[in-house]
Amino acid sequence: MTSICFTVPGPIQPWQRARSNGKFKFTARETVMYQNHVKHCAADAMGNMPLFDGPIVATYVFIFPVPDSWPKWKKEAARRGRLVHDKKPDTDNLVKTIKDACEGIVFTNDCRVYSDSASKWFNNGSGVHTVVTFRLEEDKIGTGAKKSDYDALFD
């Protein structure tokens, strides 16, 4: 089974809708900068591996800072994993930023990801970061497969 795992250190930036200045639509600068950071981390993890071009399982773990303004009991509960991050940003916007950045770096098209698992947590002193794992499912085929692909894999 072919897989990669990489960490994206630093503050997490969710995907934002394209903005407009009246004449042109553009992607928010923060989103572009974060996606470039993700691309660099993903490219380092890929090394010389070919792009994944098959069914892919993706796992994302987003680690957020514990707010300084919280009372001591709440900070401790968050650090122990008993208090989950169930506020904004939305998990699907976080995942979209990562998947869009990894297209052409890790996989041929983000539609190849058939299973996503994402979670948001507070840090336990290890800093703010995102851990991403992509696994190519070599024992499965996609809907674009031919009978000969199926026969070659399962006979």
Residue 154 confidence (pLDDT): 77
Query: For residues 92, 12, 47 and 3, what is the CA-based torsion angle, rounded to 10 degrees?
Result: -40
The CA angle 89-94-99, to the nearest 5 degrees, is: 170
What integer pLDDT is reported at residue 125 of this predicted model? 63
The one-letter code for the residue type at 48 is N
Neighbours of 134 (CB within 10 A): 25
Strand order of the β-sheet with 2-9 is: 2-9, 129-136, 56-64, 113-122
- Single pTM value for the model: 0.86
Residue 123 clears pLDDT 70, i.e. is over it = yes
Q: Return the pLDDT at 40.
A: 96
Q: Once rounded to an integer, what is the mean pLDDT over residues 86-99?
A: 93
Q: What is the pLDDT of residue 138?
A: 80
Domains of the chain in start order, with CATH, are 2-154 (3.30.1330.70)
Please report the pLDDT score of residue 126 as a whole number. 58
Reported as a single tens digit per residue, the pLDDT across 34-76 is: 999 999 999 999 999 999 998 999 999 999 999 899 999 999 9
**What's the pLDDT tens digit per position in 127-154?**
668 888 888 888 887 878 788 877 887 7
